[in-house]
Chains A and B, each alone.
Chain A
Amino acid sequence: MSDSAPVWQPACPPLASHDGERITLAYGEGGRLTRRLIQDRIVARFGNATLAALGDAALIDLPAGRCAMTTDGYTVTPLFFPGGDIGRLAVYGTVNDLVVSGARPRFLSLAMVIEEGLPWEVLDRVLDSVRDALDATGVQLVTGDTKVVPREAVDQLFLTTTGIGEVIQPLAGPAGLRAGDEILVSGPIGRHGAAVLCAREEFGFDPPPLSDCGPLTRPIEALWHADLPVRCLRDATRGGVAAVLHEWSAVAGLGITVASALLPVSADVRAVCELLGLEPLHLACEGTFVAAVAGGQAQRTLDVMRANGCPAAAVIGEVTTARSTPARLRTTAGREIPLDEPAGSPLPRIC
């Protein structure tokens, strides 16, 4: 996990001196101050027997059978944005990756790379968010790592989380898609991308768009309980719903057509997209997923999703036979056009 000496050491008595307002390099150098950071801020918050053991590795019990494992790095500017922050993002992002893979998330690791000079108050707020998000999903933090790096080596705070979960629902994945399958989304699209863009660039919209940053555990476990013929699921993060559709159609070798009139878009995202010339399908979601189910099962699926925290879930299109342009959009004018594949982060247009 780490190339330096064991970082999370057994407890030591807290020092009398005050930590100051900001984190200094000394807190990342593996000595007494590092131990204090871990003891006071990590173990105190997340204390569970596995974590509190503070060994070089967490020793965990997993049920027999298949496990799912995923890892993701989180960088976001600003760290706190309307509707969420990097702490929630780092937990929900990894938890959601497990959930859409058919797994029940169990354990999480958290690695932090902290820029020298970050106010303690900021770190504490982020760690409180991590704790809240863990509580909301029933996942245990069992191991982690902390580094402090010189100014400008990172932008304030980078987090990396790794998650392990037990597979409770094997999925065919996009290779199992069939023509006639129906495509659904669990809620309004593009909210996270719009929220972060507006917060970062200070575009001055009021109220600012809110991120959808949140866990997908409840609606997806409800789909498993209802025993629906789900082909595949994906949380529509970077690149938005458009990126998911492009990837699925490429893997399946089939077409996917969605209709713009069917896409759920919140009023704030709609306004921001009109003003900045953006496409909601290209904006990231962090608490919204795309699902493909066997044809004829869309209404049952919708009912389950809507009854489990996704009131705006909608059927948006269907899988078709192979086309020259695999992902397609049916416009309000009733025409089918190729769905543009996102390239790079969305930039506001004036043209």
Chain B
Amino acid sequence: MSWKRNAGWLSVLLIFLSGCATVALNAGFDEVSVAVAERGAGKIVWNSGTDLDKEAAEKVSSLLKGGLTADEAVQIALLNNRDLQAIYSDLGIAQADLVQAGLFQNPVFDAAVLFPVSGGRPDLDLSVVMNFLDVFYVPLRKRVATARFEETKLKVAGAVLDFARQVRTAFYLHQANEQMLELRRTVVQTLTASLELARRLHEAGNITDLDFARERALTEAARLELRTAEMAERQSREQLNALMGVWGKNTEWRTGGRLPDIPAQTTAGDDLERLALSRSLDLSIARQRIIAAGEQLGFNRATALIPEPTLGPLGEREEGWEAGPTVELSIPLFDRGQARIARALTELRRARQEYYGLAVRIRSVARAVQDRMSGSRDRALYYRDILVPLRERIVNEAQLQYNAMQLSPFELLRAKEQQIETAAAYIEALRDYWLARTDFAHILNGRLPGLDGGGARSEEGRMKMNGREAH
């Protein structure tokens, strides 16, 4: 084998191996984008200093101008939240890993110069060695990295969906807080009127200091509750500001009206568990983990007993130039790869168990979320159709009784207050429904919403409603 021939063969191989190995910055994002859009979460853009960025910014500012809906808030957050942009970078990293996996190890150039003690011309020992089995290993490594890349894409899509859920939940909580604030204001208005009436009676000498003080205590307590409601409203607004990534003037957005009414029943029915499983991104991720683990195992098996030979041309000048190939082999004497194989095998087993465990969890969460949704739907409807009209009827009847001077004006105002408290309880029930519905959509979009029940349900309103007695 002549030197020349060897060198020519090698250079062709090197060029071939390095030819396709470039990193695409937006790799995988389009797929993620499609997956997210398919699941109704909205449009996503990866800010990359292109015209698209400008378009997105314009979209955000135009959306912020109108009264926001939940969908719009989600869209703004998807386009404008920088933390989410940061998550997209995972795609680039995974893609880079994939490219990395496809690269051959660089050849090693080895040069040695030996100076004879006796003097004379130094001996030159030159070699270029490379791990020639890379030719076989690269596809294996690429398979592992591809599986990981797929996993990353799914993970990023999942993160986007999780984020969208978070925004939607925060939006509903805020919308409910706004309405609650409005109701608290009306309660204060009612009790202030009641207090004013009591003040007039007290002034005229018709009621005792005791009764007046009692009336005042009710009103002052309501005023304190109003402060709490104001604070809650500001807090939830701030949370949305952070999620939507807005600051400065852009925080002057407003919501477009009230919590939507209960829509017609959405039933996934008996199919729910199957749908939840088939659409589960989490399961797909787990599946990719199994695949990656499997590929890793295959790779480890393939490389376990095979020494890592390096092969290269060696040129040596002792007397004159001598040339020949050089081969290095590790002898699988101590490490026969058994540990690496066992590890990969265990990882695979773990991935499999996790997959099945996840599937069971998804079924359970799907059932639980569906139950939560239909339960909160029933509650909200019960308030809307039974209790709220009943409280209204009570106010009307109390007004009639007041007209006939059978009922004191304080009792009439108390009836009004109880009507408002019932409206507040209805808002809470409606909010809980929308939170449950968000989670239900989330699980059908392939993500686990967790069993925390979305937003914490407030027992406060109901307790107040039951606890406050007309006096």
A binds B: no
